[in-house]
């Protein structure tokens, strides 16, 4: 639209829909669970990979992202960042994704082997990548902005008035629980 191509080129090529696609979530914590709930609304079968199986959830569990990858058409990384998840979605996991898969990273750039992801995008094995986190953000790999099947956004999902107010309330709730000797609503575990 911004380049005026619709007016000059006519109909755009067909794309794909998410309805009914098999979704794989790497990291089924608070955010991963929210993604899963939304996916259910699109009739998407959900599977996940994480540190441990969550017996309270009906989704198929795979112990590693590489084991999850061949089972899904869309993979979303929702894992926490840090040294324990650095390179979690490695070259083997990326190679195991079916041809044309969609890859989304909304967690941390460090969770993904970015050179392996770039190679898969370049080779056409990844149909679409949607990224709002990057290995070296905000100085992202220049090549990412040149690839037509990559959607880039700054990591700003919490940048709303409502979300920041909710974050402040949650912090207050955690402090109140701590000083009252109650369990924290969102305890962070090592």
User: Of residues 155, 162, 178, 189, which has the active-site annotation?
Assistant: 155
From CA 21, how far away is CA 9, in angstroms rounded?
29
Active site residue 155: yes
From CA 13, how far away is CA 15, in angstroms rounded?
6
Query: Residue 139 to residues 142, 144, 145, 173, 182: CA-CA distances in angstroms?
Result: 8, 11, 12, 36, 42
- Token duo for residue 15: 């794309």
User: Of residues 33, 73, 108, 114, which has the active-site annotation?
Assistant: 108
User: Of residues 2, 137, 162, 178, which has the active-site annotation?
Assistant: 137
Active site residue 178: no
CB 103 within 8 A of CB 78: no
How big is the chain by its Cα radius of gyration, in Å? 18
Active site residue 108: yes
The beta strands (E) that lie in the chain are given as 23-26, 46-49, 60-62, 74-77, 101-105, 126-131, 150-152
DSSP state of 115: H
Annotated catalytic residues are: 108, 137, 155
């Amino acid at each position: 639209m911004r380049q005026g191509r619709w007016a000059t080129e006519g109909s755009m090529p067909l794309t794909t829909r998410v309805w009914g696609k098999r979704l794989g979530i790497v990291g089924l914590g608070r955010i991963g669970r929210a993604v899963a709930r939304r996916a259910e609304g699109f009739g998407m079968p959900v599977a996940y990979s994480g540190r441990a199986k969550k017996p309270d959830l009906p989704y198929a569990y795979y112990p590693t992202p590489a084991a999850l990858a061949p089972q899904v058409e869309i993979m979303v990384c929702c894992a926490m960042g840090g040294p324990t998840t650095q390179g979690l979605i490695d070259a083997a996991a990326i190679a195991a994704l079916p041809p044309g898969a969609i890859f989304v990273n909304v967690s941390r750039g460090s969770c993904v082997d970015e050179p392996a992801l770039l190679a898969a995008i370049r080779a056409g094995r990844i149909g679409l990548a949607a990224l709002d986190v990057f290995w070296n953000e905000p100085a992202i790999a220049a090549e990412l902005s040149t690839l037509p099947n990559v959607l880039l956004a700054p990591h700003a999902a919490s940048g709303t008035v409502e979300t920041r107010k909710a974050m402040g309330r949650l912090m207050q709730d955690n402090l109140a629980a701590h000083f009252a000797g109650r369990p924290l609503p969102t305890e962070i575990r090592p």
